[in-house]
Structure 1
Amino acid sequence: MISQEIPYSSHIIVMPHLRVQNANAISSPLTHGFPSITAFMGLMWALERRANAAGINVLFNGVGVICHNYQEQVTQSGFTQTFNLTRNPVDKSGQTAPIVEEGRIHLDISVLFAVEAPDWSDDEKQETDIAALHAIMQGMRLAGGSFLAPLAGQAAQSAPWCIAYESPEVEPEYFKNARYRVLPGFALVERSALITQKLAEIQKQNPEATALDAWLSLVRVNWHYNAAQDTWQHDRTNGWVVPIPVGYGALGAVCPPGTVAGVRDATVPFQVVESLFSLGEWVSPLRLKNAQDVLWYPSSKPENGVYRCHNSYRAL
């Protein structure tokens, strides 16, 4: 668990019931089923840059996501599922192009942004800016997916709104009433503390067990036979716990701009990284005590080669 001071944000913007088509369902080399939280962090930073370019004076501090519905594009027959893939057009030589596995998912989500907006003491300015932010975001991409217009009759349900409060002390009360507006749905939070607990449990029987052993044990369903009751039982007692990528770890030193061929942007430094994994849990918004429970914040430490997102949710 990474502890870091959470920046104070006077406003929480809620973009409710966003419809996303064909987002990337493969969130890392080991996981699939929902876009990585880093994709939402990238959306936040891209939206901030576009907002500032459009003259909207806002600073984005954190992002959260609540999923209302999803439809992963996979086969529905049998125990083993496979992605629905597309056949690409033939290449310039007339040969059949190879199939590159792409996982796609359709989403109905609400996205929350923690922002600091010094100009929003004026309610009219706040309303105008939030509407502009919503319009800007409709032309962007989320994990490669496209935002779709609301369905007929759902425009009011999809209109953005804001939670504003004067100080951190009163924020939980404001957020408590706002939780009902994002039901039904499930919020993605971090539960990395479960790894420490599971590791201590496993090491009682295997002192050489590592955090990886604990993580693998938690992301699967472990069945065992109870001879006393003559039944098979599983150890899934921690809720809807899932493996998630939470950032990237460096595999080497930072390379100066222009020294690596084939990079996307040769004007910025380059570093080879790999995915960092943790545990997440999908929880009901009613279990969130305040906005910090659902919001994810960047906690990059370039000097250590760690580029990570963190969330401060604590189970009741």
Structure 2
Amino acid sequence: MSKVNNLLVLPRLRVQSANAISSPMTWGFPAMSAFVGMMHALERKLAAADINVSLERVGVVCHDVEAQATEGGYPRAFHLTRNPLSTYAEKKKINTDGSVTTPSFVEEGRMHLDITLIFAIDAKASDEQRQHIAQETGDIVSGMRIAGGSVMPNPRVSPDRQRPTWIALDDDSSEREKHFKRLKRRWLPGFALVLRDDRLAEHSRTLQAEDENATALDAWLDLSRLNYQCQVDSESGELRWEVRRPYPGWLVPIPVGYAAISKQFEPGSVANARDTQVPFRFVESIYSIGEWVSPHRLTSPEDLLWYVDNDLDAGLYRLNNDYIQRAQRT
């Protein structure tokens, strides 16, 4: 049975110019770490407004995306902008012959999003307090950044469908299931991003059975691309090319956190660190496989909610999601 009793839902948010580059190796949707970071920032802002609640997990349902990139061919490029140069920067670019060297572009991938955010919220409140907290949360989020993008009014959806709500799930399992089914219908059409570590592990074993030198990276790359294979038609004998899909579903490569590549340094001991009051560690991105799932296939709130699952002894700072547990049971 689900242990999540309260959901705070911010439906149909329009996020303009969000970061489309989720890691050094992936693009197409912001990393889930961006939404978890936004959740922590929101919790602090609520505390500053004398609303003491705990936001424990966050889920995202994507209704629409609009990548700011070229169309019309296989090679694609981001739409880049030239920001005005400061006086100091212009002076630094003056050459000895008097000419000025224009600084190069810094590539930034941007996209517009239409998303619904779902938070697992832990607090006791009356119906009136829930309504107040939900509305206050919506007002605060409207002035925040989500994955580097600005929250804008959504002209595609009526104001009633954009109203933030605090939903208390029933303790009775059957009533809870009915309530969650009604809630899922509000998130259609759309897709929720879930974690599929199991697909990556299973495919690694499959490749290693064929080639003992195969690694998890080989499996990750194999699941990240479209693979074509030649098939012979049994009746006509003609050759045809088909897309090979080892697993059903819409699988995508995603970053899920960071792994330490150095020891932990004392606060202030590393030059140019962003925060000199906390310990510092060099890290690199870690990757896994995710799946976009239609909300009507979810059976509990845990299926789409993400949370921090660090292993400090192993130097892992990563996110987790419990969709796999339900998938393995079925």
Q: Structure 1 or 2: larger helix share?
A: 2
**Is 1:190 aligned to 2:195, yes or no?**
yes
| Range moving further from structure 2, 165-174 or 301-310 | 165-174
How far 1:154 sits from its partner (Å)?
2.0
How far 1:228 sits from its partner (Å)?
4.9
CA distance in 2, matches of 1:172, 1:117: 21
2:151 is aligned, of 147, 152, 163, to 147
Structure 2 residues without counterparts, runs of 5 or longer: 92-99
CA distance in 2, matches of 1:226, 1:152: 45
Structure 1 residues without counterparts, runs of 5 or longer: 1-5
CA distance in 1, matches of 2:317, 2:259: 6
CA distance in 1, matches of 2:148, 2:102: 25
Say which one has the larger Rg: 2
1:152-301 correspondence runs (5 A): 154-167=158-171, 169=173, 171-229=176-234, 230-236=239-245, 237-301=247-311
CA distance in 1, matches of 2:270, 2:172: 45
What is the count of residue pairs matched by the alignment? 309
CA distance in 2, matches of 1:306, 1:139: 32
CA 1:154–1:37: 2 relative to 1, 3 Å: same
What does the per-residue CA deviation read over 1:95-125, in whole Å, with 9 as the maximum and x for residues that have no partner?
Answer: 422200000010000000001012x1x1001
Query: Which residue of structure 1 aligns with residue 121 of structure 2?
Result: 115
How far 1:153 sits from its partner (Å)?
6.5
Query: Which residue of structure 2 aligns with residue 50 of structure 1?
Result: 45
- Percent identical among aligned pairs is 44
CA 1:165–1:231: 2 relative to 1, 3 Å: same
Please say if residues 172 and 291 of structure 1, whose CA atoms lie closer than 8 Å, have aligned partners that are also in contact.
Answer: no
Please say if residues 14 and 160 of structure 1, whose CA atoms lie closer than 8 Å, have aligned partners that are also in contact.
Answer: yes
Query: SS of the counterpart of 1:303?
Result: coil
**Is 1:302 aligned to 2:312, yes or no?**
yes
Please say if residues 22 and 104 of structure 1, whose CA atoms lie closer than 8 Å, have aligned partners that are also in contact.
Answer: yes
What does the per-residue CA deviation read over 1:244-277, in whole Å, with 9 as the maximum and x for residues that have no partner?
Answer: 0011111111111111111111111111111110
CA RMSD of aligned residues (A): 1.8
Query: SS of the counterpart of 1:105?
Result: strand
**Is 1:104 aligned to 2:113, yes or no?**
no
**Is 1:86 aligned to 2:91, yes or no?**
no
Please say if residues 195 and 291 of structure 2, whose CA atoms lie closer than 8 Å, have aligned partners that are also in contact.
Answer: yes
| TM-score, normalised relative to structure 1 | 0.93
CA 1:52–1:7: 2 relative to 1, 3 Å: farther
How far 1:149 sits from its partner (Å)?
2.0
CA distance in 2, matches of 1:252, 1:147: 37
| Range moving further from structure 2, 204-213 or 105-114 | 204-213
Query: Which residue of structure 1 aligns with residue 96 of structure 2?
Result: none
Query: SS of the counterpart of 1:78?
Result: coil
How far 1:152 sits from its partner (Å)?
7.6
Query: Which residue of structure 2 aligns with residue 133 of structure 1?
Result: 137
How far 1:305 sits from its partner (Å)?
0.8
Query: SS of the counterpart of 2:33?
Result: helix
How far 1:204 sits from its partner (Å)?
2.3
CA distance in 1, matches of 2:106, 2:194: 31
Please say if residues 176 and 290 of structure 1, whose CA atoms lie closer than 8 Å, have aligned partners that are also in contact.
Answer: no
Query: SS of the counterpart of 2:162?
Result: coil
Query: SS of the counterpart of 2:59?
Result: strand
CA distance in 1, matches of 2:50, 2:264: 34
